Amino acid sequence: MCWGSWVGATLRKPTLSYVSFHPTWLVENILKGDGAVDKLAAAVKVPQLLMAAGDDPDFVKPGGSVDKIIKARAEVGRAAVR
């Protein structure tokens, strides 16, 4: 399990954006309980490019809860790229 994407999601400014290959946001649920990834997505401060693989959890895939939450936030989602 690569935890780099979880680290990137928890970063705060001055990071301008973050790219995650095979995003392992599942770590947030492991550490803080089910549904914690949605709270993390709501707290993200910079645009995220999540490059999910086929076996990644649905919540980090296009149309998943993380994708929807980030894109709904104008200050972050406007710059989100997929």
Q: Could you read off the pLDDT of 18-46 as tens digits, one per residue?
A: 788 888 888 899 999 999 999 999 998 88
Q: Is the pTM of this model over 0.85?
A: no
Boundaries of domain holding 43? 4-77
The residue length of the chain stands at 82
d(CA 48, CA 32): 21
Q: What is the predicted pLDDT for the residue at 62?
A: 93
Residue 13 lies in a domain: yes
Residue 82 lies in a domain: no
Confidence of residue 1 (pLDDT cuts 50, 70, 90): low
Count of domains in the chain? Answer: 1
Q: How far apart are the first and last CA of the chain?
A: 22
Return the bridge partners of 5, or none: none
d(CA 80, CA 20): 12
Residue 34 lies in a domain: yes
Residue 29 lies in a domain: yes
CB atoms within 10 A of CB 82: 10
d(CA 81, CA 39): 20
Is residue 51 scored above 70 in pLDDT?
A: yes
Q: What is the predicted pLDDT for the residue at 23?
A: 86
